[in-house]
Amino acid sequence: MLKTRGSFLVDATGFDAWALTLAVFLPAVGALVMMVVPRARELELKMIALGSSLAALAVGVYLLFAFDYGNAGELQFGVHKGWIDAINADYILGLDGLSLPLLILSMVIIPLCVIYSWEHIPEPGNAKAFFILMLILASGMNGTFVAQDLILFFVFFEVVLLPMYFMIGVWGGENRRYASLKFFLFTLFGSALMIVSFVALYFVATNEAGTALNTFNMSELAEAAGGDLARGTQAIIFAGLFMGFGIKVPMFPFHTWLPDAHTEAPTVGSVILAAVLLKLGTYGFVRIALPFLPEGAAAWAPWIGLLAVIGIIYGALGCLAQTDMKRLIAFSSVAHMGFVMLGIATLTPIGINAAVFGMVAHGIITGMLFFLAGSVKERYHTLEIGRLGGLLKSAPRMGWILAISAMASLGLPGLAGFWGEFPVILSAYNPGAGLSEELFRTYMVIAAVGTVFAAGYLLWLFQRSAFGEPKAEWEGHAIADVNRFEWAAWMPLILAMVVFGFFPGLIFGVVDDVSVGIAESISAAVGGS
Amino acid sequence: MLLNQFLLLGALLFAVGVYGVLARRNGVMVLMSIELMLNAVNLNLVAFGLQHDVVSGQVFALFIIAVAAAEVGVGLAIVLLLYRNRRSIAVDEFDLMKG
Amino acid sequence: MVAQNIAFGIIAGITVLAALGMVTTRNIVHAALFLVAVLGGLAANYVLLAAEFIATTQVLVYIGAVMVLFLFGIMLTRAPIGRIPQMTGASWPVAALSALALGGVTVYALIDRFGTDSLATDSTVFRTADVSDSVFSQYIVPFEAISVLLLAALIGAVVLARRD
Amino acid sequence: MWILENAFLIPLIPAVSFLVILLFGRSVIGAERVHKVGITAVGIVWILSMIAAVSWITQVEDATSSKADDAEHALVSVNEGLSASGSGAVDGDLYLAAEDDGHGSDDGHGYAAGPDPVISTADGWWSSGGIDFAVGTLVDGQTVLLLVVVTSISLLVHIYSSEYVKGDRRFVHYYAFLSLFTASMLFFVMAQNLVQMIVGWELVGVCSFVLIGHWWEERPNTDAAVKAFLTNRVGDIGLLVGVAILFGTFGTFDIDSINRAVGEMGSEVHFAMLMASIALMAAVCSKSGQFPLHTWLPDAMAGPTPVSALIHAATMVVAGVFMIGRLYPVFFEGFSIGTSSINLMAFIGGFTALIGAGLAFAQWDIKKVLAYSTVSQLGYMVMALGVGAWTAAMFHLFTHAFFKACLFLGAGSVSHAAHHTFDMREMGGLRKYMPHTYKTFVISTLALAGIFPFAGFWSKDEILLGALKGQESRYLLMLVFGCVVALLTAAYMTRVIWYTFWGEYRGHGHPHESPKVMTVPLWILAVMAVVAGAFNLPTPVLELFGLERFAHLVQTYAEPTHYLNAIGLSHPGPEWEMAAAGLVLALAGIAITFMYYWRNTGPHGLTERNRYAKAGYTFLEQKYYLDHLYTDIVVGSIKAPIARAANWVNNNVIDLVVNRAGEGARDSGRWVYRWIDQGTIDNTVNALGSGADAGGQGLRVMQTGKVQNYGSLLFGTAAVVAIVFVIVL
């Protein structure tokens, strides 16, 4: 049964109508197939995992080519079918310029993780379960980025949670129980508030005329842009969304699950967590919180900005205090996501663009750094920075890759990280939607100071781990350089860092229409009332 | 006559019953104190029934008497069982639930 | 009405004193006898409240049946007849405090709420027939439930007390 | 003109060379031959730069002659009506902005700065939220000047390094990053907009980091590299913020448009420009080694010497000076250079020049002396810009690049000969062993000291003159700074020559002259150190020879008159008195130092003549003479205290602050981590659990298992609740 649909989400025809569904469920189908394959046939299992994730990526490549870039602000490849009529939740998928980069990022990361894990299944083994979880994660993440119905979004958002919980809890480090539970509880707590806000949106969201919409359809809610909801109501609903997404990001006071989860998670778990999972939160802000509740966003923006800059400085200070490489990288995520959130908080197109760029760049760079940390751990059996050293000498290629990744992470122009930071600083000079200029200019300066700290901890890390002579305790240990699986898994990420560093327009161009639309609707809503 | 004189009497008896339940060591005595509390409630019920001109007060008093009888029956059976097993009915010696 | 008040005063005094005696005496048989006095006093109060059926039941059931049960209980558990030093537990001050607090607050609340409200004098005098009508019509379901409860308690008591 | 419009080729070639060397250096080309790739690439770029320079000159000449008629009668007006029209003919992505009314004149000395075209090409790079970020090239005189400087020095350093770094453990990487640096620096100088400028700025910083840490096995080198990078990042805060302010104010990144806009809007945007200037000044301080962020520069000498010559003397460190020159209208407005008699920029520059010169006395490492000298000379340039002497600053940048590069390469040559040491106490008497190095070093020293007729004399004189004349009022303090520094510079350089080349050889082994691959570049640079001054000879000098036509070449061809005259910049004419005074000061510096050493030097006279010394040959006593030298020469003056105080401040305050700041950041990081993160936030979470646990333990005591206790609790609680209700209701 077809419901009335928003005028701008047109059902696609032919293969296009199936493309997104395939993109979302191909990995899940792979996981299903794997379930019936006996555990002993490991090679087949791996092939299925790789095959299904690559099949999803192939769909992604098709999407990249078939995507109408002139119309990046509109939802494309739309699917709209009835789902749960009782609560008015539909199966709506759609892809626009905001979703596309993140969807592709998620699609690329998964096969790379499969390749990396090919011979690196962490303790206690069991490749079958490991890959099945990874594929379920892939489905959940892909689905979150293309879902255009709040309930569907929520389902995908939560689907991601459980595999990650098991991944950390089963394949994690020594403290895995604690970390996995912390991760689970934190996110679940956020989700609970988020779903309350979704339901509230369902009941109170109105259109311009004041008629209740009673819909979970995201494009309709975005078009209504808060309707004639009072600023206070919007702010309250926004608070629920803020908790749900902010914990996932994670923003400053809610970040403590992140270092633990990252430190304990297996390498690929950390990579997926950093590269894609954190983006679910920021994506939620841009996709849901901002356009649905523009005035709520304007009311909260100064606070989001404040927490963001605290996060930037705080994350950096946290990094400086770490002695464990993986934990340091984990803390750097807090700082980087601070930049992303500051960009969002400015409510300007540049800021939102930069935030989306920052998400992708952080996914690539931090994902890469976690891969490296995993490989270092595998070779040295420790991540204690004080015990490392001379990586450039014992494994020069790995040292170089670490150098490039660290440089990208500290925001060096010519590599991807810079374009997630510099435009944020620019946009904070002139925030949108009537936000206080003085306040955001202060944030701007603090954020700029944060870049120095970033350089500080990354260079410190690099100096200790890569420069100098290898420590005496590793004498006689053959520290293998990058092997072929690692090359295969890493090369795309390194290339992406350089390519996006030189051609930031590749992402900005796609996202621009959407973020301009969001910023305009916010300033219209704020200015008009 | 005042309504309160009955109610206050009930309250006093109830409080005395509470004290008995809490303070007496002997299981039978505890049960007796419970009877006292039930009766205090009964008095209230009958007094309110009169005050509000309804028969329900008396009916419920009756019910309570019946329940109290049942309660005493079961309670004494339990006390008996305890005595048989432990050779004592001092309630403060039963602390299997100690945490 | 003065007579009634005097009667109430005497009865209430006896009842309260008997109750206190019950919870303080060290002789368990005395306690049972004090309880008889309390129950009797209450029966008298029911009469004052024009509830003669309740008063009758009180005498029959409590003083007649329940007290016999108690005495059986005392005998069967071979409680020492006569004074025993430790009838009251060590934590009696706590108990006293709880009871005092509870009683105090109740008394305060009652005085605060009902003050010197007189008892309704013009209300219907419900005879036994009225009570039985009500029990067997309006309250038939609770009545049956209580009957079942009694049966269950009976069986339960038998099962528990059986020596096997 | 083709090269001016396609100037992007110039940075592209070394960038390609970088990739080729890095990717194919070891495998295809062969590790010992990669320098040929680098030299070829930079050679091509050098030729292109020369072509660009010639094209530029032709262009300016053409424009001048075509406007000659207009110019004839417009010549009279000195500084009136010089508003920039800002109406460059825009067509497509290329526009040639030819000024109609941009005539400069130097107080009636009768030369006409021609109309000043700026060639700016831009292609859309990316756009975000309606703002277009362009990539393109901006070519004007200043760019061309830097192109010449960068490519020339880079080429010579490439050639020189092929011998100096031969057989190094990372020869390939060295050349790769030398190429990348050249590319980045060229990219930076022709940046069309501020974003590109930042990109170039950061890239040269990274190359500097990599090359300082070239021998990363040793801890001090990596420390120096990290210090350099971090200090520069501190300045980058200013750069990012400054750019954000400029962008926020004008809504564009385009340097040309911003400069024109400032010229037009003037005081309307004064406050924003002040903020932007202060922010950008921080960036200048870090990159160009200005007080108080200069401390990284001496440490940066840990890198290979040719790198020091190229990056940390001639090119990268002038990036800050270049940026001020590039955005001069912004600073001019922001710091009120035209009307003040002291401002932040001039003061920082002058002060840096002074402390740098003072510190140079206290060093024994020849490269550190040169490093402090560089700091001092950069301060000179910044001071010049601060007093409004734009041309003088650029001119000094131009001349300084040659003679300082020559000095560094000379120092490298010395160390190459003297067993890789840079300690002057292990040198001495080298003039006998390495005559070429000695001669070139002396020539460059004379140039640096500002002795007539070497290059430094002309540029230094213009700076002092600029301070003397100022714009509306003279910069007296700056003039004093300048004069003192002139004296000090001559003195410490003479000291270096004394210790390095005179006296007896005190090192090990047998020093020898470096091969031709190294001496030829030295000679080229030495020649430039002599003649570079000729490029901006004042007219009156040349009138004597009837060569007026060649006067003020740098000024004519480099100065972006359409910006500078729009803000009303005047040029002081040359004054014999000032020139003579400067010369006398420099000579005095040399003379005093020389006299001192002359009196006490030589294997024969030393012990007899010096009252304080027991013996004159040993190293320790030499040091003793140094103390004596300080007290003797600068008696009655404040120089030694300044040097010591500055050194003390440098080592104990600034370095300490930097270190403490680092440690403090780490400590506070650790503190925050331990007490707030792990302690508070994490503990709040944990405390919920453990609190429940502890509470449970506490409650466990109450869990007696006795029914009556539970009953007491039950009734007690009921009573309490009832009491609460009674009280509340």
> pLDDT of C19-75, one tens digit each?
998 888 888 888 888 999 999 999 998 988 888 888 998 888 888 888 888 888 888
Distance from CA of C30 to the nearest CA of B (A): 11
The answer to whether the Cβ–Cβ distance between D705 and B23 falls below 8 Å is no
Q: Are residues D435 and D574 in the same domain?
A: yes
Does D133 score more than 60 pLDDT? yes
Write down the pTM of the prediction.
0.72
Cβ–Cβ under 8 Å, residues D25 and D34:
yes
pLDDT tens across D405-437, in order? 888 888 888 887 777 777 777 777 777 788 888
D contact chains, 3+ CB pairs < 8 A: A, B, C
Q: What is the pLDDT of residue B10?
A: 92
Low-confidence winner among A45-54, A466-475, D40-49, D548-557 (lowest mean pLDDT): D548-557
Q: What is the pLDDT of residue D675?
A: 67
If one counts every other C-beta atom within 10 angstroms of the C-beta of residue C142, the result is 14
pLDDT top residue among D706 and D434 = D434
Q: What is the pLDDT of residue D652?
A: 55
Q: What is the pLDDT of residue D117?
A: 56
User: Under an 8 Å CB criterion, which residues of B touch D?
Assistant: 18, 21-23, 30, 91-92, 94-99
pLDDT level of residue B41 (50, 70, 90 thresholds): very high
Q: Is the ipTM of this complex over 0.85?
A: no
Low-confidence winner among A483-487, C77-81, D55-59, D395-399 (lowest mean pLDDT): C77-81
The answer to whether the Cβ–Cβ distance between C118 and B18 falls below 8 Å is no
pLDDT top residue among D285 and C91 = D285
Residue D544, helix vs strand vs coil = coil
Closest-approach residue (CA) in chain C for B48: C119
Both structure tokens of D644? 């010591």
Q: Which domains, ranges and CATH numbers included, belong to chain B?
A: 3-89 (1.10.287.3510)
pLDDT tens across A420-456, in order? 888 898 888 888 877 888 889 899 998 988 888 888 8
Separation of alpha carbons B39 and A26, rounded Å: 73
pLDDT tens across A99-108, in order? 999 999 999 9
Distance from CA of A88 to the nearest CA of D (A): 35
Q: What is the pLDDT of residue D695?
A: 63
pLDDT tens across A447-460, in order? 988 888 888 888 88
For an interface test with D, give the residue of C23, C88, C100, C102 to mutate (most D CBs within 10 A): C102
pLDDT level of residue D685 (50, 70, 90 thresholds): low
Q: Are residues D658 and D590 in the same domain?
A: no
The answer to whether the Cβ–Cβ distance between D703 and B97 falls below 8 Å is yes
Is D656 within the bounds of a domain? yes
Does A218 score more than 80 pLDDT? yes
Give contacts of C105 with chain D, Cβ < 8 Å.
719, 722-723, 726
Nearest to A235 by CA among A192, A279, A204, A280: A204
> Least CB-CB distance to B65: which of C38, C58, C153?
C58
Tell me the range of A228-237, C146-155, D66-75, D336-345 where mean pLDDT is highest. Answer: C146-155
Q: What is the pLDDT of residue D112?
A: 38
The answer to whether the Cβ–Cβ distance between B95 and D715 falls below 8 Å is no
The answer to whether the Cβ–Cβ distance between D719 and C94 falls below 8 Å is no
Is A3 within the bounds of a domain? no
Does A357 score more than 50 pLDDT? yes
Does A385 score more than 60 pLDDT? yes
Separation of alpha carbons B42 and B56, rounded Å: 12
Distance from CA of C18 to the nearest CA of D (A): 23
Helices H, strands E: what count in chain D?
A: 32, 4
Q: Are residues D410 and D427 in the same domain?
A: yes
pLDDT tens across A29-83, in order? 999 998 888 888 888 888 898 999 999 999 999 998 888 888 888 888 888 888 8
Does D700 score more than 80 pLDDT? no
Residue A462, helix vs strand vs coil = helix
Number of independent structural domains in chain A: 1
Average pLDDT, chain D: 75
Does A179 lie at the interface with D, CB-CB under 8 angstroms?
no
pLDDT level of residue B11 (50, 70, 90 thresholds): very high
> Least CB-CB distance to B22: which of D700, D703, D715?
D715
pLDDT level of residue A145 (50, 70, 90 thresholds): very high
Average pLDDT, chain A: 85
Please state whether at least 3 CB pairs lie below 8 Å between chains D and B: yes
Low-confidence winner among A265-269, D43-47, D165-169, D521-525 (lowest mean pLDDT): D165-169
For an interface test with C, give the residue of D726, D727, D728, D729 to mutate (most C CBs within 10 A): D726
Question: Mean per-residue pLDDT for B72-86?
Answer: 85
Nearest to D232 by CA among D218, D212, D248, D249: D212
Q: What is the pLDDT of residue A105?
A: 92
The answer to whether the Cβ–Cβ distance between A508 and D127 falls below 8 Å is yes
Does A456 lie at the interface with D, CB-CB under 8 angstroms?
yes
> Least CB-CB distance to B50: which of C4, C123, C146?
C123
Is A259 within the bounds of a domain? yes
Q: Are residues D493 and D508 in the same domain?
A: yes
Separation of alpha carbons D444 and D438, rounded Å: 10
Number of independent structural domains in chain D: 3
The answer to whether the Cβ–Cβ distance between A412 and D129 falls below 8 Å is no
Could you tell me what percent of chain D has a pLDDT over 70?
76
pLDDT tens across B47-66, in order? 988 888 888 889 999 999 99
Stretch(es) of chain C classified as CATH 1.20.120.1200: 1-112
Low-confidence winner among A384-388, D66-70, D575-579 (lowest mean pLDDT): D66-70
Distance from CA of A516 to the nearest CA of D (A): 6
Which single residue is written with the structure tokens 């150098």? A403
Separation of alpha carbons A217 and A210, rounded Å: 17
Question: Mean per-residue pLDDT for D439-465?
Answer: 85
Does A90 lie at the interface with D, CB-CB under 8 angstroms?
no
Separation of alpha carbons A355 and C46, rounded Å: 81
Please name every residue paired with A288 in a beta bridge, in sequence order, or none if there are none.
none
Q: Are residues D616 and D647 in the same domain?
A: no
Q: What is the pLDDT of residue D550?
A: 67
Closest-approach residue (CA) in chain B for C122: B53
Is A1 within the bounds of a domain? no
Q: What is the pLDDT of residue D72?
A: 43
Tell me the range of A360-374, D80-94, D408-422 where mean pLDDT is highest. Answer: A360-374
Cβ–Cβ under 8 Å, residues A94 and A75:
yes
pLDDT tens across C95-131, in order? 888 888 888 888 988 888 887 878 777 777 788 888 8
Q: Are residues D693 and D612 in the same domain?
A: no
The answer to whether the Cβ–Cβ distance between D715 and B94 falls below 8 Å is no
pLDDT level of residue A362 (50, 70, 90 thresholds): very high
Does A425 lie at the interface with D, CB-CB under 8 angstroms?
yes
Q: What is the pLDDT of residue D681?
A: 65
Q: What is the pLDDT of residue B43?
A: 92
If one counts every other C-beta atom within 10 angstroms of the C-beta of residue C88, the result is 20
Separation of alpha carbons D666 and D671, rounded Å: 8
Give contacts of C53 with chain B, Cβ < 8 Å.
58, 62
pLDDT level of residue D606 (50, 70, 90 thresholds): very low
pLDDT tens across D275-320, in order? 889 999 989 988 888 877 777 888 788 888 888 888 888 888 888 8
> Least CB-CB distance to D129: which of A348, A459, A460?
A348
**Which regions of A85-216 does DSSP assign to beta strands (E)?**
89-95
Separation of alpha carbons B19 and D531, rounded Å: 114
Q: What is the pLDDT of residue D608?
A: 46
Is A22 within the bounds of a domain? yes
Cβ–Cβ under 8 Å, residues B12 and C103:
yes
Which residues form the domain of A463? 15-527
Separation of alpha carbons D161 and D432, rounded Å: 24
Q: Are residues D646 and D511 in the same domain?
A: no
Is A4 within the bounds of a domain? no
Cα dihedral B21, B24, B25, B28 in deg (nearest 10) = -70
Q: What are phi and psi of C154, to 5 degrees?
A: -60, -55
* Angle CA D714–D718–D723, to nearest 5: 150
Both structure tokens of B59? 């009916």
A contact chains, 3+ CB pairs < 8 A: D
Q: Domain ends where: D614, D637, D660?
A: D637
> Least CB-CB distance to D681: which of A256, A452, A515?
A256
The answer to whether the Cβ–Cβ distance between B15 and C99 falls below 8 Å is yes
> Least CB-CB distance to C101: which of D708, D709, D716?
D716
Closest-approach residue (CA) in chain C for D711: C95
Q: What is the pLDDT of residue D76?
A: 35
Low-confidence winner among A173-182, A307-316, C115-124, D98-107 (lowest mean pLDDT): D98-107
Q: Are residues D563 and D445 in the same domain?
A: yes
Nearest to D497 by CA among D416, D565, D452, D443: D443
Does D721 lie at the interface with C, CB-CB under 8 angstroms?
no
CATH architecture observed for domain C1-112: Up-down Bundle (1.20)
Q: What is the pLDDT of residue C79?
A: 63
The answer to whether the Cβ–Cβ distance between C102 and D718 falls below 8 Å is yes
Both structure tokens of D514? 């470096």
pLDDT top residue among C84 and D50 = D50
Give contacts of C94 with chain D, Cβ < 8 Å.
709, 712, 716
pLDDT level of residue D139 (50, 70, 90 thresholds): confident
Which residues form the domain of D633? 602-637
Tell me the range of A247-251, C74-78, D636-640, D643-647 where mean pLDDT is highest. Answer: A247-251
Question: CA distances (Å), D102 to each of A97, A164, D77, in order?
Answer: 48, 68, 11
> Least CB-CB distance to D708: which of B91, B96, B99?
B91
Question: Mean per-residue pLDDT for D585-593?
Answer: 83
> Least CB-CB distance to D708: which of B22, B97, B99?
B22
Q: What is the pLDDT of residue D367?
A: 85
pLDDT level of residue D622 (50, 70, 90 thresholds): very low
Does A329 score more than 70 pLDDT? yes
The answer to whether the Cβ–Cβ distance between C92 and B23 falls below 8 Å is yes
The answer to whether the Cβ–Cβ distance between B22 and D703 falls below 8 Å is no
Question: CA distances (Å), A264 to each of A376, A514, C110, in order?
Answer: 15, 37, 63
Give contacts of C109 with chain D, Cβ < 8 Å.
722, 726
Give contacts of D705 with chain B, Cβ < 8 Å.
94-99
Does D701 lie at the interface with C, CB-CB under 8 angstroms?
no
Nearest to D507 by CA among D603, D419, D610: D419
Tell me the range of A184-198, D635-649, D672-686, D695-709 where mean pLDDT is highest. Answer: A184-198
